[in-house]
């Protein structure tokens, strides 16, 4: 189909150019990539469907950025250095203005993280994007969810809850009294967290050896921390041959790093759901041995990334939320929309 050929040549092929001389990107039946010696490949995939994973009216630039960003966030959680990505694109039509805006979003994230587009597929249908990204880790050094240990401290990067509150703002679900109390900078920061998440790829390689486990927060802090605990519990029970050790966590809510907008929201509504179960954060939640804290903090600081301790891994099953050291009622956590704790 000539149109499809033009579209690929104009908008996608230029993003393939940073591959090395021996490699082949867009234009052949498949991409040909060189594998760095003594490394393993980490592969991640995420699909975004219009109206499901982003509001219908989201700008094409932001859709492109986010489709790649959520994948790079998965690579970061594995401690991988970026390799490349492919794009499965289903489009309802060939709207040139939309495509131009879309490809500038792709170009922005491609350049920022120096990760080439290596291929893809283009089809007609309801707007859907599937990105598959790959990256590299030295043999056996990928950061796994199952690595968490009893006694580990838990930390998160930057602030959480902004993406979920940003979605409420974008969908006009917040009451006027609250939104009129936000300044323009706060509103923009919420929308930017929703539409322009910045994957923590800059610190990914340096996390290897410093943290025992990591996950990127896409479904909400409690759910994603829960995944770490489940995976680690499975591993522990295998290791201790039948003696099942279920790991849990204690989270101190007053330590959670919140933006001023999210702080205002909680003060006014007492609703913690954007922070605890909202999702769309694309920040990392990690567990680490406390001896590594000084080095971890220094490394993050060098990259200009804020990391905050929020709790620790314990032997008692479940996620236990504390408010200034006092356990909060189960109903409180249930009210956030988080069910299986």
Contact set with ligand ADP (CB under 6 A) = 8, 12, 26-29, 87, 89, 117, 119-122
- Backbone conformation region of residue 220, classed left if phi is above 0, alpha if psi is from -120 to 50, else beta: left
Give the contacts of 340 (CB within 8 A, at least 6 positions apart): 226
Nearest approach, Cβ of residue 117 and Mg ion (Å): 14
Residue number of the CB atom closest to Mg ion: 121
Nearest approach, Cβ of residue 132 and ligand ADP (Å): 11
Stretch of 106-114, 121-129, 228-236, 250-258 contacting Mg ion, by CB under 5 A: 121-129
d(CA 129, CA 30): 19
Choice between 11 and 338, CB closer to ligand ADP: 11
315 near Mg ion, judged by CB under 5 A: no
120 binds, among Mg ion, ligand ADP, none (CB under 5 to 8 A by kind): ligand ADP
Q: 2: buried, middle or exposed (CB in 10 Å: 19+, 13-18, 0-12)?
A: exposed
36 binds, among Mg ion, ligand ADP, none (CB under 5 to 8 A by kind): none
Instruction: Give the containing element (helix H, strand E) for 89.
Output: strand 81-91
Contact 287, 228 (CB under 8 A): yes
33 binds, among ligand ADP, Mg ion, none (CB under 5 to 8 A by kind): none
Q: Which 8-state DSSP code applies to residue 9?
A: I
Give the contacts of 28 (CB within 8 A, at least 6 positions apart): none
121 near Mg ion, judged by CB under 5 A: yes
9 near Mg ion, judged by CB under 5 A: no
Choice between 45 and 237, CB closer to Mg ion: 45
Residue 214 has which token pair? 């990591």
Stretch of 27-35, 54-62, 116-124, 170-178 contacting Mg ion, by CB under 5 A: 116-124
Contact 101, 195 (CB under 8 A): no
Nearest approach, Cβ of residue 275 and ligand ADP (Å): 36
Nearest approach, Cβ of residue 280 and ligand ADP (Å): 24
124 near Mg ion, judged by CB under 5 A: no
Residues 251-310 that bind Mg ion (CB under 5 A): none
Residue located via tokens 């590594």: 292
Contact 106, 64 (CB under 8 A): yes
Nearest approach, Cβ of residue 5 and Mg ion (Å): 11
Choice between 85 and 288, CB closer to ligand ADP: 85
d(CA 79, CA 202): 10
Q: How far is CA 197 from CA 160, 228, 296, in A?
A: 12, 22, 22
Q: Give the interface with Mg ion as residue ranges (CB under 5 A).
A: 121
């Amino acid at each position: 189909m000539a149109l499809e050929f033009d579209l690929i040549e104009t908008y996608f092929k230029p993003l393939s150019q940073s591959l090395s001389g021996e490699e082949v990107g867009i234009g052949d039946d498949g991409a040909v990539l060189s594998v760095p010696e003594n490394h393993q490949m980490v592969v991640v995939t995420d699909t975004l469907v219009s109206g499901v994973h982003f509001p219908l009216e989201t700008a094409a630039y932001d859709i492109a950025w986010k489709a790649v960003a959520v994948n790079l966030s998965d690579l970061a959680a594995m401690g991988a250095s970026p390799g490349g990505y492919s794009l499965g694109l289903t489009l309802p039509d060939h709207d040139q203005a939309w495509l131009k805006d879309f490809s500038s979003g792709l170009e922005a994230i491609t350049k920022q993280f120096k990760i080439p587009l290596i291929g893809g597929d283009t089809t007609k249908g309801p707007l859907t994007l599937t990105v598959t990204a790959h990256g590299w880790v030295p043999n056996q050094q990928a950061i796994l969810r199952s690595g968490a240990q009893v006694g580990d401290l838990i930390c998160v990067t930057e602030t959480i809850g902004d993406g979920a509150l940003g979605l409420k703002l974008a969908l006009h679900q917040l009451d006027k009294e609250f939104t009129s109390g936000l300044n323009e900078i706060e509103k923009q920061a919420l929308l930017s967290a929703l539409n322009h998440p910045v994957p923590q790829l800059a610190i990914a390689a340096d996390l290897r050896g410093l943290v025992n486990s990591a996950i990127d927060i896409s479904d909400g802090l409690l759910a994603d921390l829960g995944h770490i605990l489940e995976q680690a519990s499975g591993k522990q029970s295998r290791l201790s041959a039948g003696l099942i050790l279920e790991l849990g966590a204690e989270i101190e809510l007053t330590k959670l790093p919140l933006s001023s907008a999210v702080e205002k929201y909680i003060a006014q509504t007492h609703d913690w759901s954007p922070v605890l179960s909202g999702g769309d954060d694309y920040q990392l939640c990690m567990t680490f041995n406390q001896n590594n804290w000084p080095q971890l903090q220094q490394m993050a600081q060098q990259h200009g990334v804020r990391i905050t301790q929020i709790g620790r891994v314990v032997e008692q099953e479940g996620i236990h939320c504390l408010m200034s050291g006092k356990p909060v009622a189960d109903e409180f956590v249930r009210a956030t929309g988080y069910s299986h704790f």
